[in-house]
Amino acid sequence: MTKRKPNGEYEFRLKYPSAQEVVLVGDFDPYLQSQVPMSRSPSGEWVCRLHLPEGIYHFKYWVDGNWCLDEDPRATPAASFLSSALVVRNEGPVSYAYVG
């Protein structure tokens, strides 16, 4: 799940309590593919926060050596061919979709 926080940061959360390591991978930097290690919260969710300017960002999660999409905590072989897309706007709701 992705939420915009009141301070403008975007919070990425993934419910995957059995995971040992989760990394957010996306095109958050226009010059390279970003890899952001996530932290496990006390509830077992994996969390990270990023400041993002307006734009469209493609991302997915690397969970214990397998790809996983946002809102779909099942790591499957198909996830390597898909990504989640986040549309960042200064105002309005956060929107995202799966793209292939």
C-alpha–C-alpha distance, residues 43 and 23, integer Å: 18
Q: What is the CA radius of gyration of the chain?
A: 13
35-77 pLDDT per residue, tens: 999 999 998 899 999 999 888 888 999 999 988 888 765 556 6
Residue 85: name the closest of 66, 63, 100, 65 by CA.
Answer: 100
The pLDDT value recorded for residue 41 is 93
* pTM of the predicted structure, to 2 decimals: 0.80
Residue 78 corresponds to which tokens in the numbers above?
């198909």
Q: What percent of the chain has pLDDT over 70?
A: 77
Whole-angstrom distance, CA of residue 44 vs CA of residue 34 = 23
Query: Top-level CATH class of 2-99?
Result: mainly beta
Domain limits, the chain: 2-99
